[in-house]
Amino acid sequence: MITKKDYWIGAVAGFLTGVLALVMVFYLEISFPYKKAFFLIGVPVLFAFGVWLGGFLGRYFRVFTQFGKYVTAGFLSTLIDFTTLNVVSALTGVTAGIVIGWVNIPGFVIAVFNGYLWNKLWVFSPRLSVFPRGASDRNLVSDKTGVFSDFPKFLAVTVGGLILNSVTIIIITTYISIPLGLTPQRWLNVAKVLASILVIIWNFAGFKFFVFRK
C-alpha cells in the first residue's frame, strides 16, 4: 500500500538524485536551458509520480508497488555510483581498460550501502514507516531482526551485481569502438547505463526473492 509519506520519501530521493545529476552533468560538460529547475524541482516531482504510478499498477499486479519504490531508490543509488565514477575518472584520467574496473568500485560500494538502507527500511519493509512506533534506532539496529540482519545476503547479491557491472563496462569501453561524436568520458557513461540496466534486473530479483523474502 502506498501512502502520502511514500510520496514525500520519493520526492526527497528525487531531490538528492537531482543534486548528484547536476554534479555529473558538470563533469560531462552538458548544458541545457533550465537544467537546475529540472533537476531540483522536476526530478523530485517525477519521482513522487513514479511512486504513485507503482502504487496504481500495484492494484492489478502487486509487484509494481515495490518495483516503483525500488526504481526510485535505485535511481538515487545509481546517481551516487555515476557521480562517484565521473569524479574518480576525472581525477585519475582513466576512462577505459582493465583499470576502469577498479575506478568503478568506489561509487558502487557507496551506492551499495545507500541502496541497502533504502531497500531494507522502505522498499521491501512491511512497515509503513521507516521505524516502528515506539522503537528507537538503537533498539532496531541491535535487534536480531534489525536493520543489518539481511546485509550478508544483500552483499552477496550486490557483489554479483558489481562483477556484472564492471565486466559489462570493461567489455563495452575496451572492445567496442566509440561511436562517432562521443568522447571517451561520455562513452564510459553509455557503458555504465547499459551495465546498470542489467544490474537493476539482477538486484530486484535477488532482493525480492532472496534477501528480503518474507
pLDDT in tens, 7-53: 999 999 999 999 999 998 888 888 888 999 999 999 999 999 999 99
Q: What is the mean pLDDT of the chain?
A: 86
Query: Can you tell me the distance from the alpha carbon of 150 to that of 191, in angstroms, rounded to the nearest whole number?
Result: 30
| Statement: residue 143 has pLDDT above 50 | no
User: Range of 181's domain?
Assistant: 4-211
**Contact between 185 and 115 (Cβ < 8 Å):** no
| Statement: residue 141 has pLDDT above 60 | no
Residue closest to 22 by CA, chosen among 10, 32, 13? 32
Query: Can you tell me the distance from the alpha carbon of 61 to that of 167, in angstroms, rounded to the nearest whole number?
Result: 33
| Statement: residue 127 has pLDDT above 70 | no
Domain count, the chain: 1
| Statement: residue 213 has pLDDT above 70 | yes
Mean pLDDT confidence for 118-130: 74
Provide the pLDDT confidence category of residue 63 given band limits of 50, 70 and 90.
confident
Mean pLDDT confidence for 159-174: 90
Mean pLDDT confidence for 173-195: 88
pLDDT value for 132: 44
pLDDT value for 51: 96
- Higher-confidence residue: 7 or 179? 7
Of all residues in the chain, what percent carry a pLDDT higher than 90? 38
**Contact between 96 and 188 (Cβ < 8 Å):** yes
Provide the pLDDT confidence category of residue 145 given band limits of 50, 70 and 90.
low
pLDDT value for 191: 92
| Prediction pTM value | 0.73
Provide the pLDDT confidence category of residue 140 given band limits of 50, 70 and 90.
very low
Mean pLDDT confidence for 159-181: 89
The cell numbers describing 156, all together, are 552477496
Residue closest to 82 by CA, chosen among 214, 194, 203, 208? 194
